[in-house]
Amino acid sequence: MQRRQFLKTAGFGAAGVAAAPFVSTASANETYTWDMVTSWPKNFPALGTGANDFARRVEQLSNGRMRIRVHGAGELVPALEVFDAVAAGTAEMGHSASYYWRGKVAASQFFTAVPFGMNTTEMNAWLYNGGGQELWDEIYANHNLKPFAVGNTGTQMAGWFKKEINSLDDMQGLKLRLPGLAGEAMNGIGVSTVNMAGSEIFTSLQTGALDAADWVGPYNDMAFGLHQVADYYYTSAWNEPTAVLEGTVNLDAWNALPEDLQDVIREAARASNLAMISEFAYRNAQALEMLVDEHGVQLRTFPEDVMAALYKSSKEAIQRQVDNDDESRRVYESYSAFQKLLRPFSDVGEYAYLKNRDNVGV
């Protein structure tokens, strides 16, 4: 009976959404012009243009009542100072990735990516339906911010390495650009990790300041020319099975907005989130083919001992985080419970399908 009631309720909710699509009631009586600072170079493929896409949608959905001026990294504030700038009201909005702020808000890392964690579909389900957004709102409100998912890169590559990795011993002492919990896991197996803006990666690899670097995936990595300064591209997806890009709004500015314009921002964020996911799926496929066929990039996977060590170290890094920070504990309890809830269907659904598709050679 409970199941029937759940299905009835779910069906009613779905029907309600279908029957009442979003329509802005914004008029031209009062206008707003906001600044958005980002962690990406101006108009950088997918990341920078994704911020532009969000701004365009806001202006369109508000019937011109709200305009957002997008600023690339370094134009108003440095790439890794977006969080502080928006919290302080230097700009009304930001576009970045939450795991950059682990030194300020330890729990923020869980809202971008968790090593060996949920994929993009699962992550969106947690944010939109599993209580993730509510936790994100609560934690960021303590820093005068309102967060949204405004884009996602999908599954990321393990990164570029200047030497081939044949065993766990080859990882020892490497200098690697890798943020978030995955960076902590790498530190645990003998790698030295740093967090730096994407625009600094090429030069750091070229000069030897870095031995290896994670950025995003084929599309964005090729845009930075990383294939010119590292020979080996590792495909072992463990570090970022998804990567949410966050839009942040200064909470005072948010609370001052009329409700209809708050709805505009919510809907523009959802639309831009989907648009970026779709773009990355398409562009990454194109870029990977170009990297291999035209540039001779050598694709590799980590040896089994490296992957086993990373899995163990990831669990230890997460546990340390949870033990030492109450917000992280609360967020991860929600995150891991939702992942466990989804796992059975993910296994018999997408995972089983992909295995079957490969087995029949499609």
Q: Per the annotation, where are the binding residues?
A: 156, 177, 214-215, 240
For Cα atoms 161, 45, 115, give the angle at the middle one, nearest 5 degrees: 45
Which amino acid belongs to residue 106? A
∠ CA 104-176-298, nearest 5°, is 135
> Edge-to-edge strand order for the sheet containing 192-194?
192-194, 175-177, 212-213, 159-161, 232-234, 298-300
Binding site per annotation, positions for Na(+): 215
Rounded Cα gap, residues 190 and 307, in angstroms: 13
- Within 10 angstroms of residue 153's Cβ, the number of other Cβ atoms is 27
Which amino acids are annotated as binding site for substrate, given as ranges?
156, 177, 214, 240
Dist. CA 51–CA 323, nearest whole Å: 35
Half-sphere exposure of 11 (CA within 13 A, CB side): 6
